[in-house]
Amino acid sequence: MIGILLLTHGTLGESLIQCCCHVLNRRPLQIAQLGVSAQDDPLDLLPTARQLCSSVDSGEGVVVLTDIYGATPSNIAMKLALPGEVEIVAGLNLPMLLRILTYRDKNVIETVIQKAVAGGCDGVLHVKSRE
């Protein structure tokens, strides 16, 4: 099973995990999160991020999800990247996370990444009101 690490601003990661618990009626396995606050030094958080990444990896790889590309959580995530082993996807949202949880047992990290991006994009739509 592909591991998942959420590297986000503040408590967003834990909130998304709690939403998944509600939808799935259980806490998913091999998932961890690290929230970054404004006063955190990114270099101080890097060892914790590496440890969390290792803790969710069963040998099939890890997808690190971050909320905004180019922001501090994303910059920390980029330091974890190892092609084919630890892959990074930015733009984290709930549909993306649910899609990953659905497909990560296939143990093909490239497929999980494709499903993540598709789930994130497909989950964004204009809902028009009825008139």
Domain ranges of the chain: 3-122
**Contact yes or no for 49/80 (Cβ under 8 A):** yes
Q: For the segment 83-128, what is each residue's pLDDT rounded down to a tens digit?
A: 999 999 999 999 999 999 998 888 789 999 999 999 999 999 889 9
**Contact yes or no for 5/53 (Cβ under 8 A):** yes
**Contact yes or no for 2/107 (Cβ under 8 A):** yes
3-state helix, strand, coil in the chain (%, to 5): 45, 20, 35
Residue 31's pLDDT band (cuts 50, 70, 90): very high
So what's the pLDDT on residue 41?
92
Answer yes or no: is pLDDT of 131 > 80. no
**Alpha-carbon span 8 to 5, nearest angstrom:** 10
Domain at 3-122: CATH code: 3.40.50.510
